[in-house]
Structure 1
Amino acid sequence: MRHGEGKTLNYSDLTPVLRRLALEAGDAIMAIYEADDFDVKTKSDESPVTEADEAADALISAGLREAFPDIALVTEEQADSHDQEDADTFLIVDPLDGTKEFINRRGDFTVNIALVEDGVPTRGVVYAPAKGRLFYTDSTGRTVEETGPFDKNTAGETTPLHVGEPDNGSLMVVASKSHRDEATDAYINKYNVKDMTSAGSSLKFCLVATGEADIYPRLGRTMEWDTAAGHAVLKGAGGRIVRFDDHTPLVYGKAGFANPFFIAYAPGVDLKAP
């Protein structure tokens, strides 16, 4: 992987840093989550932000800038980082994905950190601290789930992940816990569904990566920092993410870092037209 002016970064240097920072951010988030109360503010786009978002963002940003000063950094909570769409390689962070789940103390929130190269998320970590689930791509790009308890400096036992083999007559579907709507339900109804589950944040990608679900359609607003880490985790487990409208691959570095509607799925699912 090349970055900066003639510099080379080994993926084996990247993975432990992303993993450690995600775990450290998770500790900072849980300290606030488990407090009696915490402050909630409203951003300019009317979305909520908490002191946990800000604490995790400060920790992750400082760690990434120290470790990889030559790689562009895009993070949800720093608007001045959102003008780097032309970077071929960048790190992208959502320090607390699923803020509504956090505020409502539902546990389905994650720390997301990813590396994007030439429009593709190639490495990533998704950590759900309240669930005790940690997913990441190793130095080869293969996705693993690590079982806790987690040591920040030494990886524990890991299980390689691979998407399931879908049965199109009996599909497992995962959908958003906070953003379900009639359009999503209408699209899901095009499939033969065995069962449905709901999950918050980027955990939905991880459920497809583990084989716990076969397809996750998203017909709603998302940003690249919401999806990049989950995309990398799913890709490293053999899954795919395509645009909802034309089923072409979802790419990154788009204007404003805004995503179109998309479908995440295990190969073998017979995708239906919109």
Structure 2
Amino acid sequence: MDFEKLTREMRRLALEAGDAIMAIYGQDDFEVEAKDDDSPVTAADKAADRIISDGLRAAFPDTMLVTEEQAATHEMQADTFLIVDPLDGTKEFIHRRGDFTVNIAYVEDGVPTRGVVYAPAKGRMFFTGAAGQSVEETGPLAKDNVGPLTPISVSEPDNAALMVVASKSHRDQATDDYIGKYQVKDMKSAGSSLKFCLVATGEADIYPRLGRTMEWDTAAGHAVLAGAGGQVLRFDDLTPLRYGKQTYANPFFIATAPGVTLHQG
């Protein structure tokens, strides 16, 4: 894989998809449909998916592509592939809360090694560079001109005063019970894969997820976190979360800075 090209194309396509999403987000009203699993989908999901999938297939025709909005791709299996959630946090989008992202990732041998997470309503862009180091791009975000890049890194956590981030739309008692095992200084909630990015930048130390997710929900954020020195571990045995699983469903997991003393579930 040409990682310079991969980074360039993933970043550009995320920005193009973000423009399409925000054009629909700015409308007075938009239609919300239900998929087969009863999860919501909008015209923004579909428009962003077309832009990203067409662009990736043109740029990387020999690499398998899995995308949330194309069910046929969920039947494909490989250890190395591209994986996309064109609009992660559709509920946040529908309720106009801003915490939604465009997620594009590259998985190598079951491990997300490159990824882009773009939050168009917040103007925040995170990605792994060609060498694998994660950065946040600041300033005006232009498709053909990369702005100032700030390398990001996980925190050096104080286990007596941890910063915790949890899901905004999927918080439950089991999550609260698990968080209660830690000494928590402060807690914040966020939607979509922004939670991974908050751990990657050191704005949070740990993000536990005790709920259903799919690999397209997590791969890009996982790559950004890994490129900032963080890790994503299975909740049950604290082994690294792997990708390319049949059905692309994830087990419960913990995204964390390495310095956090973890409790098993």
SS in 2 for 1:140: coil
Query: Partners in 1 of 2:140 and 2:26 — Cα distance?
Result: 18
Paired amino acid for 1:267: P
Residue 102 in structure 1 maps to residue 93 in structure 2:
yes
Amino acid at match of 1:222: T
Letter in 1 for 2:262: L
Choose the corresponding residue for 2:149, options 158, 176, 181: 158
Cα displacement (A) at 1:88: 2.2
- Deviations 1:130-177 (CA, angstroms, capped at 9, x unpaired): 000000000000000001311101211000000010000000000000
Distance in structure 1 (CA, Å) of the matches to 2:208 and 2:2:
34
Choose which of 52, 75, 87 in structure 2 pairs with 1:83: 75
Task: Name the structure 1 match of 2:119.
Answer: 128
CA distance in 2, matches of 1:200, 1:263: 16
Structure 1, residues 80-138: CA drift from partner, whole Å, max 9, x if none? 001122x1210000000000000000000000000001000000000000000000000
1:183 and 2:174 correspond: yes
Supply the distance in 1 between the matched residues of 2:195 and 2:145 (Cα, whole angstroms). 27
Report the counterpart of residue 5 of structure 2 in structure 1: 13
What is the alpha-carbon distance in structure 1 between the residues aligned to residue 2 and residue 22 of structure 2?
31
> Quick one: distance in 1 between partners of 2:187 and 2:170?
15
Say how many residue pairs are matched. Answer: 265
Q: Find the aligned partners of 1:46 and 1:136 in 2 and give their Cα distance.
A: 31
Q: Match for 1:227: what amino acid?
A: T
Q: Structure 1, residues 185-237: CA drift from partner, whole Å, max 9, x if none?
A: 00000000000000000000000000000000000000000000000000000
- Which of 27, 35, 54 is matched with 2:19 structurally? 27
Aligned to 1:116: 107
Aligned residues of 2:207 and 2:255 also touching (Cα < 8 A)? yes
CA RMSD across the alignment? 0.5
Aligned amino acid, residue 251 of structure 1? R
Partner in structure 1 of residue 220 of structure 2? 229
Q: Does 2:199 correspond to 1:208?
A: yes
Residue type of the alignment partner of 1:47? S
Aligned pair partner of 2:136 in 126, 142, 145: 145
Q: Percent identity?
A: 74
Matches of 1:89 and 1:24 in 2, distance apart?
Answer: 25
1:40 to 32, 52, 55: 32
**What is the aligned counterpart of 1:255 among 246, 249, 256?**
246
Moved over 2 A (4+): none
- The DSSP-based 3-state class of the residue aligned with 1:172 is strand
Contact 2:106 2:113 in 1 (8 A): yes
* CA deviation after TM superposition for structure 1 residue 13, in Å: 1.1
Distance, in Å, in 2 between the alignment partners of 1:272 and 1:158 is: 35
- Of the candidates 76, 84, 87, which is equivalent to residue 93 of structure 1? 84
C-alpha separation in 2, matches of 1:250 and 1:146? 27
The unaligned stretches of length 5 or more in structure 2 are none
1:158 maps to amino acid: L
Corresponding residue to 2:183 among 189, 192, 195? 192
Q: Normalization by structure 1: what TM-score?
A: 0.96
Q: Give unmatched runs, 5+ long, in structure 1.
A: 1-8
8 Å contact kept, 2:79–2:243: no
**C-alpha distance in 1, partners of 2:73/2:130?**
26
Partner deviation per Cα, 1:57-80 (whole Å, 9 max, x = no partner)? 000000000000000000000000
Cα distance in 1, alignment partners of residues 79 and 221 from structure 2: 20
Alpha-carbon displacement from aligned partner over 1:10-39 (angstroms, at most 9, x marks no partner): 211110000000000000000000111111
Please report the TM-score for the alignment, with normalisation by the length of structure 2: 0.99
1:72 to 64, 89, 102: 64
